[in-house]
Amino acid sequence: MEEVKNQQVVLKDYVNGFPKESDMLLNDSATINLKLPEGSNAVVVKNLYLSCDPYMRDRMSKSQGSYVESYTPGSVALTHCQIFQSVMNEYLIQHSNLPEDMDPIAGLGVAKVLDSGHSNLKKCDLVWGGTGWEEYSIINAPDTLFKIEHTDVPLSYYTGILGMPGMTAYAGFYEICAPKKGEYVFVSAAAGAVGQLVGQFAKLSGCYVVGSAGTKEKVDLLKNKFGFDEAFNYKEEQDLDATLKRYFPDGIDIYFENVGGKMLEAVLPNMRLKGRISACGMISQYNLEQGGGVRNLFHIITKSVRMQGFIVTHYFHMFPKYMDMIMPLIKQEKICYVEDLAEGLASAPAALVGLFSGRNVGKQVVVVARE
């Protein structure tokens, strides 16, 4: 009776190398019942904003013991999702009970509750958390959803500054790096969903901060909108080590690592004694069969560097504390956030693929519906 069409984005097959739009397809033949069966504990949501995140690349490969479970390409059903050992999955793996043979890509998003069998969620509530790349989703583990309390900010912010990337910047910078006033901070992929926040947090902490990005437009944003002290386009630099020596003649205390590979290799000799590297992502490596080797790790010893990887879900208990910090900063316009909005579910494959060529400027979001 409440059966409606439900367009979906489906992964066609496991991806090798750089993902392409054609690795995904739009499935227009699926339908969904927007009314839950009697006694269900699930919720039905209408997806509003979907988040494009670099970690999703890892799920497009056949799993080799990664921290996130591989997606199941459309040709294979995965109706009963095995809960993996990884904490990430507790938050990210949400599969709708589709009657079809295809599952949409799973990711984070902002959604509106249409029907609820869960005591804490009711119709018209707004939530963010793990959902499907489709118009409507059935969320079988609604406890993993965050209820949205503040709606006087753009709702899409819950895919970014008020969501997982915001928490990533907060935990990765404050908790992992323990910044001190006057320290020298370098952020790679600095115009991205996380990097733009790390740079602004660094300035709020009284640090000197330099960011790298891959276009002139992004470099301008870093300097003129986000308040980085300096910024450079890494694609225009012949010798990244020399570049960093130019911007950090006294060395780097904190490196917020988003890219890996050659950039990390250039950073290591420039680290200061007791420097900290927050290893958040290594996007330069995700599409390589074999990552580029980092040949100078010995500097970790000689500079007493702490390099710490982290998974943001381990810090999700700190969300209330983060919200208390970030909401006033947003409202007082002491922090800003740039998003790159792709309109319509049909634009989702290109939006996701664009992350890996750096096409997005700021946080990449797909707008499925505005309410």
State which of residues 33, 61, 66, 215 lies at the interface with a copy of itself (CB under 8 A).
66
DSSP string, 328-344: HHHHTTSS---EEEEES
Q: Does 279 bind a copy of itself (CB under 8 A)?
A: yes
65 class by beta-carbon count within 10 Å (0-12 exposed, 13-18 middle, 19+ buried):
exposed
* Closest distance to a copy of itself from the beta carbon of 217 (Å): 28
Q: CA 73 to CA 60: how far, in whole Å?
A: 8
State which of residues 254, 264, 330, 351 lies at the interface with a copy of itself (CB under 8 A).
264
- Judge contact between 258 and 278, C-beta under 8 A: no
Q: Which is nearer to a copy of itself, 44 or 169 (CB)?
A: 169
* Closest distance to a copy of itself from the beta carbon of 38 (Å): 40
* Closest distance to a copy of itself from the beta carbon of 138 (Å): 29
Q: Which is nearer to a copy of itself, 85 or 119 (CB)?
A: 85
Q: CA 69 to CA 346: how far, in whole Å?
A: 24
Question: H/E element holding 9?
Answer: strand 8-11
Closest to 110 (Cα-Cα) out of 138, 148, 141? 148
Closest to 60 (Cα-Cα) out of 6, 17, 97? 17
Q: Which stretch binds a copy of itself (CB under 8 A): 112-120, 190-198, 287-295, 349-357?
A: 287-295
Q: Which is nearer to a copy of itself, 155 or 271 (CB)?
A: 271
HSE-up (13 A, CA, CB side) for residue 277: 29
Q: Does 17 bind a copy of itself (CB under 8 A)?
A: no
Question: In the window 290-319, what residues touch a copy of itself (CB under 8 A)?
Answer: 290-311, 314
Q: Does 62 bind a copy of itself (CB under 8 A)?
A: no
Positions touching a copy of itself (CB under 8 A) are 65-67, 85, 87, 260, 264, 269, 273, 279-282, 285-286, 290-311, 314
